[in-house]
Amino acid sequence: MNASPEHQRILLDVADLDRRIAQAERARTKPPQAARITELVAIRQDQLRELTALTGTRDDVRTELKRLESDVKLVEQRRARDADRLATATNSKEAQALEHEIASLARRQSDLEDIELDVMGRVEDADAAVAAQQALLGTTTAEGTALTAQAKADVAAATDLIAQLTRDREAVTASLPAPLLAEYARRAANSAGAANSAGAAVLSRGTCEGCRMLLPGTDLNDIRNAPDDLVVFCPECGCILVRTEESGL
């Protein structure tokens, strides 16, 4: 294949644009925040499960406290009723029975109030645990929200950049012969999975800048003797080798 040296050098601009488009595409499809966002989603799910468990425990303790408060109130009401009856009792046996019951109720009330104080402490601890977990969840949610917003902004910026670079590429390739551009595209597709390779690269001081390999002397001699308009290829990665003043030929 033959192409003017000028057209061959334009392929270097195309290769640079393709490299930048590929970088922008990676930024669009895999924003740097993605891994942390995925991690935060899992963390948040664990924190929500823990919050649900803590809230359930707190609600159970609150229910227990309400029951105790109701029991204490019933005992107080019963003591008050017995005290009223004792005040008007005329029968000594009845009065003695009421006094015994009032004393028993006082002990019962004291026991219930002791338990109530313990449960109130447990409610306080449970409230604190729920509040702490809610704060932790809030921190995780805030970080996830901020990262998601940044990721969306980065994706939008990368999308805009891809559109701009694509327009630049269309303008640059407009003057290239179709066979040369097709050959470049084929070489670029073949090297897409190889690290540090491209569809076209400059030959710099005997080294292919596509694969960073130093070419053997025999290959360099063949390239040195080739006409300027002959399209030559890297024997290592297969990309189009563009000769310039820096090629060292």
Please state the domain extents for the chain: 5-18+177-247, 31-171
Spell out the SS3 assignment of 112-161: HHHHHHHHHHHHHHHHHHHHHHHHHHHHHHHHHHHHHHHHHHHHHHHHHH
**Residues 53-106: tens digit of each pLDDT:** 999 999 999 999 999 999 999 999 999 998 988 888 888 888 898 889 999 999
CA dist., res. 223 & res. 203, Å (int): 10
Residue 38 has pLDDT above 90, yes or no: yes
Give the pLDDT mean for 222-249. Answer: 91
97 token code pair: 């029975």
- Report how far residue 173's alpha carbon sits from residue 71's, in angstroms, rounded to the nearest whole number: 88
- Quick: pLDDT tens for 5-33: 999 999 999 999 999 999 999 999 999 99
Q: What percent of the chain has pLDDT over 70?
A: 97
CB 222 within 8 A of CB 249: no
Strands ordered across the beta sheet of 240-243: 213-214, 207-208, 200-204, 240-243, 232-233
Q: Which residues pair with 200 in a beta bridge?
A: 240
The topology (CATH level 3) of 31-171 is Helix Hairpins (1.10.287)
Instruction: Quote the pLDDT of residue 195.
Output: 47
